[in-house]
């Protein structure tokens, strides 16, 4: 399936693009190479086979977004469902590059408890151990959405924990997962392996 990343760019170390929901995607990812590697690359001593060290577990999900239905909602509704403004700022006005402050909003009056980002990452201190880098797809007006792609070194702590939490989120009524799978991305070679195991 062909995918695109409209408005693809790097800002403050994060790869950003425009999601099929028209929101900026990528703000919640880590910004440094060390953090990206720490969340995504299998390390020695993690209990994985030695040939897996230096590789990454990838999850792909083909998620259709009911764009006609979504596009009928007001921007304010879409932002409350997402939990961020379209440009990535938080709903309390804080810049996109800052961590979320949910502690002062326990009832979810500013950022609803069932919004996408608050369900995916309810505790701003413990970011989900995964790195997302997706593509948009467009196979005609009835089939548009996200080729969701994420990398992690532990499927249970990464994708599976987040996906379980997302059950019942406000965005769920707009999405339908039609395909996908789990993949292993092997390490690129000995030089890379030496570099990450040495430090």
> What's the CA gap between 128 and 158, in Å, rounded?
6
- Cβ neighbors of 190 (< 8 A, separation 6 or more) are none
Exposure class string for 52-77: b at 16+ Cβ within 10 A, else e: bbbbbbbbbbbbbbebeebeeeeeee
If binding is defined by CB under 6 A, does position 26 make contact with ligand HEM?
yes
Residue 4 is given by DSSP the state: B
Q: Which is nearer to ligand HEM, 77 or 194 (CB)?
A: 77
Residues 160-199 that bind ligand HEM (CB under 6 A): 162-163, 166, 175
**Does the CA dihedral 105-110-114-117 come out positive or negative?**
negative
Where in 126-145 is the site for ligand HEM (CB under 6 A)?
A: 127-128, 132, 145
Site for ligand HEM in 59-118 (CB under 6 A): 61, 63, 65, 82, 84, 116-117
In three-state secondary structure terms, 135 is strand
Q: Are strands 14-18 and 24-25 parallel, antiparallel or unpaired?
A: antiparallel
Report the distance separating Cα 3 and Cα 18, nearest Å: 12
Is 28 a residue that touches ligand HEM (CB under 6 A)? yes
* Smallest distance from ligand HEM to CB 30, Å: 9
Nearer to ligand HEM, 36 or 121 (CB): 121
- Positions in 41-70 near ligand HEM (CB under 6 A): 61, 63, 65
Q: Minimal CB distance to ligand HEM: which residue?
A: 28
Residues that bind ligand HEM (CB under 6 A): 19, 21, 23, 25-28, 61, 63, 65, 82, 84, 116-117, 120-121, 127-128, 132, 145-146, 148, 159, 162-163, 166, 175
């Amino acid at each position: 399936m062909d995918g695109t990343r409209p408005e693809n760019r790097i800002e403050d170390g994060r790869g950003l693009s425009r999601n099929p929901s028209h929101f900026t995607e990528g703000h919640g990812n880590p910004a440094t190479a060390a953090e990206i590697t720490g969340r995504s690359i299998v390390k020695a001593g993690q209990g994985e086979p030695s040939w897996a060290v230096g590789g990454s577990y990838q999850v792909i999900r083909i998620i259709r977004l009911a764009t006609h239905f979504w596009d009928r909602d007001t921007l304010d509704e879409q932002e409350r469902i997402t939990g961020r403004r379209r440009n990535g700022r938080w709903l309390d006005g804080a810049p996109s590059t800052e961590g979320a402050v949910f502690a002062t909003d326990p009832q979810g009056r500013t950022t609803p408890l069932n919004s996408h980002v608050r369900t995916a990452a309810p505790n701003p201190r413990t970011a989900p151990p995964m790195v997302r880098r997706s593509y948009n797809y467009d196979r005609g007006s009835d089939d548009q959405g996200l080729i969701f792609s994420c990398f992690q070194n532990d499927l249970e702590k990464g994708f599976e924990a987040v996906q379980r939490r997302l059950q019942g989120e406000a965005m769920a009524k707009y999405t339908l997962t039609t395909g996908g799978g789990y993949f292993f991305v092997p390490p690129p070679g000995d030089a890379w392996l030496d570099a990450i195991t040495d430090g």
